[in-house]
Amino acid sequence: MPIFRFVIQRLLQAILVTLAVTLFVAFAIRLTGDPAVMMAGDSSGVTEEDLARIREALGLNRPFFVQYFDFLKSLVTGDLGESFFRGSVRDLIAIAMPSTLLLAIASMAVSILISIPLGIHSALHKGGLSDQFIRVLSLVGLSFPNFWLGIMLVLLFSITFPIFPASGFDSWQSLILPATTIGIILTATNVRLVRTQMLETLSAQYVMVARAKGLSEWSVIYKHALRNAAISIVTFLGLQFGNLIGGLVIIELVFNWPGMGTLSVEAISQRDYPLLQATVSILAIMIVAVNLAVDLVYGLIDPRIRVA
Amino acid sequence: MPTPKTEVHPLLSVKDLSVEFGFGDFAVRAVDGLSFDLHEKKTLAIVGESGSGKSISSLAVLGLLKHIGGNITSGALNFQSALLGQTVDLATAAEGTLRKIRGNEIAMIFQEPMTSLNPVFTIGSQMAETLALHQGLNTKDARKKALEFLDLVRLPNAKRLLDSYPHQLSGGMRQRVMIAMAICCQPKILIADEPTTALDVTIQAQILHIIRELQEELGTSVIFISHDMGVVSEMADDVLVMKASKFVESGSVRDVLGHPQKDYTRALLAAVPKIGSMTGTSAPKLFDIPGITAATGVTPNATVQSDEQPVLEIEDLTTRYDIRGGLLNRVTHRVHAAENVSFNIYPGETLALVGESGSGKSTVGKTIQQLVEPVSGAMRYHGQDIFALPKEERKAFQKQTQYVFQDPYGSLNPRKTVGESLVEPARVHGIVTTKAQAQDLAADLLKKVDLPTDYAKRYPHQFSGGQRQRLCIARALACNPSLIIADEAVSALDVSVQAQVVNLMMELQAKHKLSYLFITHDMAVVERISHRVAVMYLGQIVEIGTRQQIFENPQHSYTKRLLSAVPVLNPGHRPTRPPLEGEIPSATRAVGDEPALVNLRQVSEGHYVGA
């Protein structure tokens, strides 16, 4: 029963947040300038009537809230309308979204594969040479701007040693450099998280109890300690994934990755309202959905929440 | 004619054990040249105060020291392993050998039942894990065996427990699970490190009874680590006393507790408050222990005449906490923490409020300090009705009552100097305004609690637990209060320190005519310090009277139960009557389900008992 209430509560919150975000997006976009001017192109021969005709054709002369509700309706039905310049918005997003998700998942995978073993190692050898080395490395990683790291990797692995493609998305090899770039940046944070969480659970009394049972160190660390540390780690990684979906813009641009970030930036520079509204809103909805999922998963992996 | 001697090999023979933490110049010796023998089917109690090295010694036996940063620097721990058919030196044995012995031939119960079980695994899987490891049982057989042992430690509904998670169990139940888990491979040695310290006294009696029974049934030897002389006296065959990582003395429980040879043991025993030691006296009495507390010539206040006007009158005080639930988040249950509580406290008097966890005793204290709002009831301070006053004027009353908390570590701000912390209440209430005034007050307060005045410049981490509790008392005195609420204020302290702080409180009371509301679960300390006693059970006072009336002529069944559950320091005496079973019931009730109110009737002058 409490679980049910919790789910309903979180769902209602998610819906409210989505409404607020889409409203803000629709409003803010209209502050950036008149797309009719942009569409009319070269401003020398354009009359006020031309502009009015364009606005009429695009439906921009209707009241703001009518336009907003149309947009909400299109979000619900999935028919996202036409871009000003590039055809069906739904088709554009159907191509861009999987690329972004693929990149986000690959980056997370890189980070998890590195940070969990390193974090555990660091915690087990707290204060030792390897721990200090890992911590310094993590600090260095945190201080890198991610686009700079991306450019360095491109210089090294596509130009000096042409192993991987520098840009675009043609084959799985294209994924390596951007995913590694983001993976490394995420690892810098995650290593610290895993280390702290493991240190905390390793000092818990139930870990000593597990040792006193005669269990092997492997079982003590990976079963008893990690399973508890995982509660916070999984929660954090989930939230990180949500942020990542919306935060890939710069890396997508650096690697010319055909994802949601690139699509949004293009839409901004062309003042393509329908496209921009749709991309930003869908990214926001994804982030809200991931957050919701994290909350629910948290309830699943922590019995103290599951069984009240 | 002398009986022919048979060579008896001790099960575990510890020789000249030394343990250090850290290396080289930074090494700290935690155990220094400790030797003892543990014989089959015997209980050896290792006693000492915090930092004496008693827990460290037990971790050394299990070979677990390296996980907390300790190393065995010398000595041997020879264990007769039936499993391996040979004597194993646990100090030098390979990790693989130790793992075979741990949890199998030597098992351990830890102090904190609330944190000893892994919160993410079911009870069943945590027990089955040990059985699978050492006895190679499959899941089904392991569960069956686990069930057997849960029954053995008298856990009701054992079958359902197997699939429960630790957080669904009370502290007492968790400790039983822990015991079941420790004995499920029928170990030769069971190490119990303060197994009942975190538990209520009636639950403690149950757990001790279970350990004694199991020992008889399974023939286990027990190393019982404790600071509680009463518990040791009831449990041990032999006793070993440690102080500051060194051996002090050892022998049979009768010899060590009855005829201690060393001054330290004598002082330690003298500092233990013993129930019944005050029989026949009406006034509280200072501890007089050579080497620990010196008599200061101050006599504690005698029993106070009740014809004076009370400092504080509490009438029908009711405090409840709401619990919300359901889809609409409405109040579905209430914790009836305090129901119709009434008592008076007279000037210069100590009223002890005793009860077990969940009895509502702390809630009463917090309500008086206005940290929580009562549902109903009246509170008169020198005749003035406090709850009738507007909010701002109530604050003036707050400075007349001060609170001393249980945890001396958590209740001083680590980033403030002691001086700043001490004068803070006076600053808040506008009593001191200038820096010079603050310094004078801090110096004055430190003098009152017998600490050097230059301590004002130091920070809390530079002090021991006992000193910190003195500082908390000094801070409580900053506003010249007439009432101090001491909520388990001496419960976390070692007995010798506890004796000093209790003495200090009595001296301050005599000098400044202070009143105390002394909230505690410890009946023995209550007997020392209090003039009158109120016993709380499930939010209500079930018996109230003078100290003598409560201790020498208890009337309510709960008071009797509470008093009989306290372990008695009487070497050789074993409680034979099994303790009452059952958990402490909960004061949480559904909305509309009001508890039956206890009617107090007078049995003699000032002695009221619930029906």
SS (H, E, C) B180-243: HHHHCCCCCEEEEECCCCCCCHHHHHHHHHHHHHHHHHHCCEEEEEECCHHHHHHHCCEEEEEE
Provide the mean pLDDT of chain B.
Answer: 88
**Alpha carbon of B266: minimum distance to chain A alpha carbons (Å):** 34
**Alpha carbon of B343: minimum distance to chain A alpha carbons (Å):** 38
Nearest CA in chain A to B98: A214
DSSP annotation string for B98-157:
HHHHBTTTEEEE-S-HHHHS-TTS-HHHHHHHHHHHHH---HHHHHHHHHHHHHHTT-TT
A214, B104: Cβ pair inside 8 Å?
Answer: yes
B579 compared with B437, residue with greater pLDDT: B437
Give the sheet arrangement for strand B189-193, strand by strand. Answer: B86-89, B70-81, B12-21, B28-38, B246-252, B238-243, B43-47, B221-226, B189-193, B106-109
B444: CB partners within 8 A, 6+ apart = none
Buried b (16+ CB within 10 A) or exposed e, B565-577: bbbbbebeeebee
Q: What sign for the dihedral angle of Cα B473, B476, B481, B485? A: negative
What number of C-beta contacts closer than 8 Å exist between A and B?
Answer: 82
Q: Which of A136-140, A239-243, B295-299, B408-412 has the lowest mean pLDDT?
A: B295-299
**Alpha carbon of A9: minimum distance to chain B alpha carbons (Å):** 9
% of chain B residues with pLDDT over 70: 95
Half-sphere exposure of B517 (CA within 13 A, CB side): 31
Report chain B residues whose CB lies below 8 A from the CB of A304: 119, 165, 167
Interface of B with A in 136-195 (CB under 8 A): 165, 167-168, 178, 181
Report chain B residues whose CB lies below 8 A from the CB of A213: 102-103, 107, 129-130, 133, 181
**Alpha carbon of B151: minimum distance to chain A alpha carbons (Å):** 20
Q: What is the pLDDT of residue A82?
A: 84
Domains of chain B and any CATH numbers = 312-400+482-568+583-610 (3.40.50.300), 412-480 (no CATH)
Q: Which site among B118, B125, B175, B177 would you substitute to test the A interface, given the most A Cβ atoms closer than 10 Å to its Cβ? A: B118
% of chain B residues with pLDDT over 90: 50
Q: What is the pLDDT of residue A272?
A: 84
Q: What is the pLDDT of residue A102?
A: 94
Nearest CA in chain A to B60: A212
Residue B584 reports pLDDT greater than 80: no
B119, A304: Cβ pair inside 8 Å?
Answer: yes
**Alpha carbon of B552: minimum distance to chain A alpha carbons (Å):** 41
A1, B326: Cβ pair inside 8 Å?
Answer: yes
* Tokens coding A167: 């840009």
Report chain B residues whose CB lies below 8 A from the CB of A211: 62, 64, 67, 102
Residue B293 reports pLDDT greater than 80: no
Q: Where are the alpha helices (DSSP H) in A126-272?
A: 129-143, 146-154, 172-202, 205-212, 217-219, 226-246, 249-254, 260-269
Cβ-contact B189, B222 below 8 angstroms: yes
Average pLDDT, stretch B111-140? 92
Q: Which of A137-141, A267-271, B40-44 has the lowest mean pLDDT?
A: A267-271
Residue B4 reports pLDDT greater than 60: no
Torsion of CA A99, A101, A103, A105, to 10 degrees: -150
Is B389's Cβ below 8 Å from some Cβ in A? no
B120, A307: Cβ pair inside 8 Å?
Answer: no
Residues of chain A in Cβ contact (below 8 Å) with chain B: 1-2, 4-5, 8, 204-206, 208-216, 224, 227-228, 231, 301-304, 307
Q: What is the pLDDT of residue A144?
A: 81
Is B118's Cβ below 8 Å from some Cβ in A? yes
Q: Which site among A4, A7, A199, A213 would you substitute to test the B interface, given the most B Cβ atoms closer than 10 Å to its Cβ? A: A213
Q: What is the pLDDT of residue B91?
A: 93
Which band of pLDDT confidence, cut at 50, 70 and 90, is reported for residue A74? confident
**Alpha carbon of A262: minimum distance to chain B alpha carbons (Å):** 43
One-letter amino acid of B370: Q
Which band of pLDDT confidence, cut at 50, 70 and 90, is reported for residue B7? low
A214, B165: Cβ pair inside 8 Å?
Answer: no
Q: What sign for the dihedral angle of Cα B199, B568, B210, B101? A: positive
Which band of pLDDT confidence, cut at 50, 70 and 90, is reported for residue B291? low
- Report the DSSP pairing between strands B312-325 and B330-345: antiparallel
Q: What is the pLDDT of residue A294?
A: 86
The whole-angstrom distance between residue A146's C-alpha and the CA centroid of its chain comes to 14
Element (DSSP H or E) covering residue A92? helix A89-124
Residue B528: closest CA among B363, B337, B281: B281
Residue A308 reports pLDDT greater than 50: no
Q: What is the rounded CA–CA span in Å between residue A184 and residue A167?
A: 18
Q: Which of A37-41, A65-69, B418-422, B498-502 has the lowest mean pLDDT?
A: A37-41
B119, A206: Cβ pair inside 8 Å?
Answer: yes
Residue B535 reports pLDDT greater than 50: yes
